[in-house]
Copies of this chain bind each other. A is one copy, B any other.
């Protein structure tokens, strides 16, 4: 058989469109193959201009993205979940993603629920916690049903301190716990004495220290502004929050110094923040929630206002149908694993942190964060390509969130179900990876796409709207 290179009389390279396996016979001949991530265009997907009821969809979508852009997410205070989150009570546990009952919960969510019950003093050990969790005495509810968001398992229990953000343009609020750091932590399903001790310290030391400082800042801290600045400093504010964490510390430190006389506690609080580049994630997320919730409820819109995963299901909601979850099985994350782990250890995609992509940053803004590829895998070129691709499925560009490397172009904003269906391009998400078993914790970070089924179902619902 004639070899490819012999045929051409020189060394060639091949671009492969379609399945990677198609090019195997070529790569077997030591010919360099570039696999292009490509699908044939959908034919037959109609561009919807009006709903059945006659609403102009572009006008509805314009209203949605205008509201998101006008959003002003400001950190205004803190409180304990049971005191401040609407609907929260002593036997309620909030979780990430769409609704789910105990028996369908994935390992890390179970671990986080059990850990939270022990932290709350409702169970003395894991065995007791598991029994209580399954007993029916605990009410489970999605964070998103309470104006809240939670990273990974997203578990919020009554005694946990939470950030309170207000969308100053619309007056609505959003809530999120404080970030625990990396490694063995509750949100990744981690259990054990060090996990509970850290949560307790966050309740008794971190929270009051930060709360005292915040109390002296009459205008709060403008989180949207910090996100915009961080996008100029190599963050995308989902999986890279190093600049934003730094800017947050700069913003609060003078007030921290003025309001806290116990200098050793103050030093420990600053160290806790300094040692966790993801500290800002739990501010970036409720900022997105606060800005998106104000854009919910616009009839006729095809814009996504919630994407969230509970580790079992991926769930999505639209501005025009804010109460309805479109769900599909949560996807598998392609990523970089910590040394002792592999893809076999990974739980499917989990967490509410996809609120960032929904709000126009996170994966949407990867072009602003080339160094993130050291954490989630891939290359800086891929990060750039990721953002460029997302312009294909979004309705607008966010003029307040700009990407220097793209000549200060606004980030892709407002995932439009119509465009997803027309192009076959699914939103890309970058995320942390939890161990599939309860009690272990984080095992890596990576990238995946949202499941197509949610968009297919949503598109059908839109056609009936």
Binding site for B on A (CB under 8 A): 232-235, 242-243, 246-247, 249-251, 253-255, 257-258, 260-261, 263-264, 266-268, 270-271, 274, 370-371, 373, 379-381, 404-408
B residues less than 8 Å from A373 (CB atoms): 404
Known contacts A371-B404, A405-B380, A407-B379; A243/B253 CB under 8 A = no
The chain B residue sitting closest to A265, CB to CB, is B257
Known contacts A257-B263, A404-B234, A408-B380; A247/B246 CB under 8 A = yes
Question: A257 near B270 (CB under 8 angstroms)?
Answer: yes
**A26 vs chain B, min Cβ distance (A):** 25
B residues less than 8 Å from A264 (CB atoms): 258
A246 CB contact (under 8 Å) in B243, B267, B407? B243
The chain B residue sitting closest to A370, CB to CB, is B404
A253 to B243, CA, bound (A): 16
The chain B residue sitting closest to A234, CB to CB, is B233
A379 to B270, CA, bound (A): 37
**Cβ-closest 10 pairs across A and B:** A246-B246, A370-B404, A257-B267, A232-B371, A371-B404, A233-B234, A257-B266, A254-B267, A250-B274, A258-B267
Question: B263 near A258 (CB under 8 angstroms)?
Answer: yes
Question: B253 near A249 (CB under 8 angstroms)?
Answer: yes
The chain B residue sitting closest to A245, CB to CB, is B250
B residues less than 8 Å from A263 (CB atoms): 257-258, 260-261, 263
The chain B residue sitting closest to A381, CB to CB, is B407
B residues less than 8 Å from A379 (CB atoms): 407
**A106 vs chain B, min Cβ distance (A):** 33
A373 to B406, CA, bound (A): 13
B residues less than 8 Å from A370 (CB atoms): 404-405
The chain B residue sitting closest to A384, CB to CB, is B405
Output the residue of A233, A242, A260, A379 with the most chain B CB within 10 A. A233
B residues less than 8 Å from A371 (CB atoms): 232-233, 404
B residues less than 8 Å from A243 (CB atoms): 233-234, 243, 246
B residues less than 8 Å from A267 (CB atoms): 253-255, 257-258
A263 to B268, CA, bound (A): 16
B residues less than 8 Å from A260 (CB atoms): 263
A379 to B407, CA, bound (A): 7
**A310 vs chain B, min Cβ distance (A):** 33
16 example contacts (A-B, Cβ-Cβ < 8 A) are as follows A233-B235, A233-B242, A234-B243, A234-B404, A246-B246, A246-B247, A250-B270, A253-B274, A254-B268, A257-B263, A257-B266, A258-B263, A261-B263, A263-B263, A380-B406, A381-B407
The chain B residue sitting closest to A271, CB to CB, is B254
Output the residue of A246, A267, A271, A274 with the most chain B CB within 10 A. A246
